[in-house]
Chain A
């Protein structure tokens, strides 16, 4: 076994290249992104979804390229790349920053979900109690290792399929004329909306952390692209659904268009489908938060090898609880979401290409020196 290689009993199959990035992308943004997107580009917002998805495909290609180049230098993950390229201290600092973003990823989703629970179902819900209970589940999942996290992602993917199918209930009440006239908005406003899609497409960059855990990564490559294409498809469908279901003025006022849409679905003997789905939606949250906790605990293990991952995990989850409780109201949740989206935009669209370039540069420089 080469140094830095992961034992095969701890590795995931190549298919997880599809499941994990995809389930990371599907998270809390799916409930509310339509409002933000249609603000600038109205009925053409689905184009913004398309553009955002294609851009993330390009970034995915860069990430895979970066990791593949790195394979011959040892373990191919974000932490090792940083330390190899920037040295122990600067690399460690960069590791801290990217991990902070991943922690933000978990916390923002957890806290936004609690906000939705408080608004829609349980106004009296205590943030502290809920996060503690939720973090216990996360603790249990992450303790099982990356394979269990991957399994949770798989289950989440399967469990979410009925929710996507629920969009068919919009068809009888749809006003397809809302989509007309097509391509009315200027490319600039569509690109602004495409910038807003970063929040929903983020998550695939976690590939940078668990790549060495994938068995036969060359096979996982095509699955990674499929994963992003699937998310893109789901987002476009949901965007179209919201556009044809709500009038423009209504959309401007609706904070969670997807949930409001579920609110108008009803079956005989089963009304308020929205409440059932919101609880069910916890399944979309589990993989994101547990992967975030896994990455954060792994960072601690990588930086301070003395600390075992399972002890680091407790600390990480405590941080989750503390930050969640510190976020007091809906406005702060929104600020945290924006912060997460903007930092993520920088990391994915500026930092990853830069890293790829820098890696290539170092190869040239060091290659000549040797």
Chain B
């Protein structure tokens, strides 16, 4: 019996099949992908890989030359849209390209205007792509952004972009990643958005939010309105709002807490009423000299509330005119309405009345009077 078991166990060795391995030193990890639309359903794709070149370390392995020294930084080429860049670029890679740890995916504005249906379907189908992937629209060429050598920072561009977007997502920009995008894109009665970035000189900058209608780019929310957008989109606690209470006189308010509550009336009528109740708890950080003090803080609150309400209504009206719904108002109405009539919603959305009520509480005005 023991012999038999031994024979079976030895036979097991024969069963070990030849699975491809993913040893970190033997693959090229794609960290960022860029897509530029060049017309006729063709894109210029760019993929970057991290460069593990270390400073020459005499006495290290391989006679001072690390084995990863010859790794390339990026590859680019033209393909039809919707194709995986990894498959396209494999002939150019000296090692297997793997997409399992991709951090950033960038699309240029032309591709966004052309429509990203194929790209999104591909991302949603691919089990290797992480879902907390950072995605963004680039004003200008993604190829130039990814391959430029003149950045101030030495860290790889993929990490630079990801850090910048994730940092801003905690502040004035609404949370955005692939998971969020797919949620809105496939969800009913809502439209997705992505942050917009741009290379200016030797650094990158967030320039606003790109709003989509289904899979097509329709408009941009500029940088100064992202606070309003985020305030209506989710609760957050690290934004900064710049309040211009009189021409050229500013007060910068850092919010400590912002909550948003929606109420809906007559969700199935031809013009539903949507009520948004925003509560902001903030602190004054900078102010025009003499404009504010502890005792006079309440005087700023009222005009600030009014300005925010106006801006919010204006923003929503723009969305309604364009027929896009990045704030997921349609889904909010659905959640408040039994037997929601989804078929006629696109028309009713444009007629919906949006009421916004902002309550500001300035809790502190700084350490000097």
Q: Is residue A177 contacting chain B, with contact meaning CB distance below 8 A?
A: yes
User: How many inter-chain residue pairs (CB < 8 Å) link A and B?
Assistant: 69
On chain A, the residues within 8 Å of B101 by CB distance are: 271
Give the docked Cα–Cα distance between A198 and B41 (Å): 47
On chain A, the residues within 8 Å of B10 by CB distance are: none
Q: Is residue A343 contacting chain B, with contact meaning CB distance below 8 A?
A: no
Q: Is residue A68 contacting chain B, with contact meaning CB distance below 8 A?
A: no
- A250: contacting residue among B19, B130, B186, CB under 8 A: B186
Q: Is residue A249 contacting chain B, with contact meaning CB distance below 8 A?
A: yes
Q: Is residue A332 contacting chain B, with contact meaning CB distance below 8 A?
A: no
Q: Is residue B184 contacting chain A, with contact meaning CB distance below 8 A?
A: yes
Which stretch in B104-112, B272-280, B282-290, B336-344 binds the other chain? B336-344
Give the docked Cα–Cα distance between A159 and B321 (Å): 54
- B20: contacting residue among A124, A132, A253, CB under 8 A: A124
Q: Is residue B187 contacting chain A, with contact meaning CB distance below 8 A?
A: yes
Q: Is residue B295 contacting chain A, with contact meaning CB distance below 8 A?
A: no
Asked whether B183 lies within 8 Å of A247 as measured between CB atoms, the reply is yes
Give the docked Cα–Cα distance between A120 and B130 (Å): 12
Q: Is residue A11 contacting chain B, with contact meaning CB distance below 8 A?
A: no
Q: Is residue B132 contacting chain A, with contact meaning CB distance below 8 A?
A: yes
On chain B, the residues within 8 Å of A274 by CB distance are: 127
B1-20 vs A, CB cutoff 8 Å, 1 = contact: the mask equals 00000001000100101011
**Given contacts A177-B332, A263-B131, are A122 and B186 in contact (CB under 8 A)?**
no
Q: Which among A125, A173, A179, A266 has the greatest number of chain B C-beta atoms within 10 A? A: A173
On chain B, the residues within 8 Å of A184 by CB distance are: 338-339
Asked whether A180 lies within 8 Å of B179 as measured between CB atoms, the reply is no
On chain A, the residues within 8 Å of B132 by CB distance are: 264, 266
Asked whether A264 lies within 8 Å of B331 as measured between CB atoms, the reply is no
Give the docked Cα–Cα distance between A126 and B19 (Å): 9
On chain B, the residues within 8 Å of A180 by CB distance are: 335-336
Asked whether A132 lies within 8 Å of B15 as measured between CB atoms, the reply is yes
Asked whether A177 lies within 8 Å of B335 as measured between CB atoms, the reply is yes
Interface residues of B (CB under 8 A from A): 8, 12, 15, 17, 19-20, 100-101, 124, 127, 130-132, 179, 182-184, 186-188, 190, 331-332, 335-340
A-B contact pairs, 21 of them (CB 8 A): A124-B17, A124-B19, A126-B17, A129-B15, A133-B15, A136-B8, A136-B12, A173-B179, A177-B332, A247-B184, A247-B187, A247-B188, A247-B190, A249-B187, A250-B182, A260-B131, A263-B127, A264-B130, A264-B132, A271-B100, A274-B127
